[in-house]
Amino acid sequence: MDTALLRNATREEHNATEATVPLMDPSLTLPQYGDVLARMYRIVRAWDDWADVHAPNDLRPILHTRRRAALLANDLKTLGHLAPSVEEVPHERMQSTAVAGDPRAVFLGRMYVMEGSTLGGQLLARHLEEHFGFAEGMGDSYFRGYGEATGERWRQFKEFLEDLPEEATDTVVASARNMFALFAEAMSAKI
């Protein structure tokens, strides 16, 4: 499938989700940052756990090195917070809102959103280090993510999307929209 088409078809959802993440706000405080990390932990942990169960076998080796909820738990610890408990993780939403269709296309649509978030993360990490005076990766290891390997890992992941048949496009787009919506929901939820 054509990944440029996927990017264009989900641009609005990206922007809407980005707008729920207030990390570029010039008045961002540490308590607010802690709240953002806790919200992200819930949805990223839900994704990690769902992905563990639903990953197609050939994706398991790359998925294994891309689990990121633990990075958020570390960042929360660095800031003196506990990670949210497992009862707060929206496993049920992940399960019940998954779109219908070919399971591989559904999986890759959701993974596209989670992997793509590492790209903006690089920019956010640099900004947060400057804003809060963090040493590199101390309190923002989630956003540092794959670091210098980010571009290479993104290209590696995109090959799986490119290998999908054209017919998978609608399901991948629908599943990516679903994942963007779940992320935005976690960021905006009343807690």
CB of 21 or CB of 138, closer to ligand HEM:
21
Stretch that binds ligand HEM, among 51-59, 80-88, 117-125, 161-169 (CB under 6 A): 117-125
The answer to the question of residue 28 lying near ligand HEM (CB under 6 A) is no
For helices 169-188 and 103-132, angle between their N-to-C axes, nearest 10 degrees: 40
For the segment 146-185, give every residue that binds ligand HEM (CB under 6 A).
180, 183
Question: Please, what is the minimum distance in Å from the beta carbon of residue 10 to ligand HEM?
Answer: 7
Stretch that binds ligand HEM, among 100-108, 119-127, 141-149, 162-170 (CB under 6 A): 119-127
Stretch that binds ligand HEM, among 31-39, 50-58, 87-95, 116-124 (CB under 6 A): 116-124
Q: Please select the residue that binds ligand HEM; options are 119, 136, 156, 162, rule is CB under 6 A.
A: 119
The answer to the question of residue 120 lying near ligand HEM (CB under 6 A) is yes
Q: Please select the residue that binds ligand HEM; options are 113, 128, 164, 172, rule is CB under 6 A.
A: 113
Residue 128, judged by CB atoms within 10 A of its CB (0-12, 13-18, 19+), counts as buried
How many angstroms separate the CA atoms of 107 and 70, rounded?
21
The answer to whether 140 and 129 are in contact (CB under 8 A) is yes
- Grouping H, G, I as helix, E, B as strand and the rest as coil, residue 5 is helix
Could you identify the residue written with the tokens 């940052």?
33
The answer to whether 140 and 77 are in contact (CB under 8 A) is no
Spell out the alpha helix ranges (H) of 55-140. Answer: 60-64, 69-78, 91-96, 103-132
Stretch that binds ligand HEM, among 14-22, 85-93, 98-106, 165-173 (CB under 6 A): 14-22
Closest-by-Cβ residue to ligand HEM is: 116
Cα separation of the two ends of the chain: 39
Question: Please, what is the minimum distance in Å from the beta carbon of residue 14 to ligand HEM?
Answer: 5
